[in-house]
């Protein structure tokens, strides 16, 4: 069945974002509708998903946070992850977390294909709705 995906991508690190986006899009079956919204940074991803939560079947959050000299990395990473999880659970819609957190740029470059993993996780959750369990009651005869 055709599904509607929204990919929200933080473009703070443009080259990394392109790699995340390409690996995600290449993993989603072509029969589906995919829309992409660009945001400045990872912190803006949850509000963008929230504003669009009723319009799509599934979401991908893509971006990169690289640790600097201050605790900002920890605050942004945790806040984005918590907000994405809360949105997913409250709305019962899959949101693939493809936000990579890295200590340096070489780590980010090595992980720029992680968009694929987020896409495959969403596809897996969407497919759960296609299975129904039918239980037929049986009578237990007394011995």
Q: Is 134 a catalytic residue?
A: no
CB-facing half-sphere around the CA of 28: CA atoms within 13 A: 27
Residues facing residue 7 across a β-bridge: 36, 60
92/120 Cα distance (integer angstroms)? 17
DSSP for 18-81, please give it. Answer: HHHHHHHHTTS-TTSEEEEEEESSGGGHHHHHHHHTTT-SEEEEEEEEE--SSTHHHHHHHHHH
Residue 43: both structure tokens together: 């912190």
Spot the catalytic one: 14, 72, 85, 86. Answer: 72
Residues labelled as active-site residues: 72
């Amino acid at each position: 069945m055709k599904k509607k995906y929204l990919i929200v991508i933080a473009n703070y690190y443009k080259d990394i974002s392109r790699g995340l986006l390409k690996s995600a899009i290449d993993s989603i079956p072509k029969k589906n509708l995919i829309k992409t919204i660009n945001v400045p940074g990872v912190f803006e991803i949850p509000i963008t998903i929230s504003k669009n939560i009723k319009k799509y079947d599934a979401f991908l959050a893509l971006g990169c946070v690289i640790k600097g000299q201050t605790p900002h990395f920890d605050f942004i990473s945790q806040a984005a992850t918590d907000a994405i999880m809360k949105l997913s659970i409250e709305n019962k819609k899959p949101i693939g977390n493809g936000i990579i957190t890295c200590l340096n740029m070489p780590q980010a470059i090595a992980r720029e294909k992680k968009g694929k993993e987020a896409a495959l996780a969403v596809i897996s959750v969407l497919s759960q709705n296609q299975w129904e369990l039918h239980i037929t009651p049986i009578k237990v005869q007394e011995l």
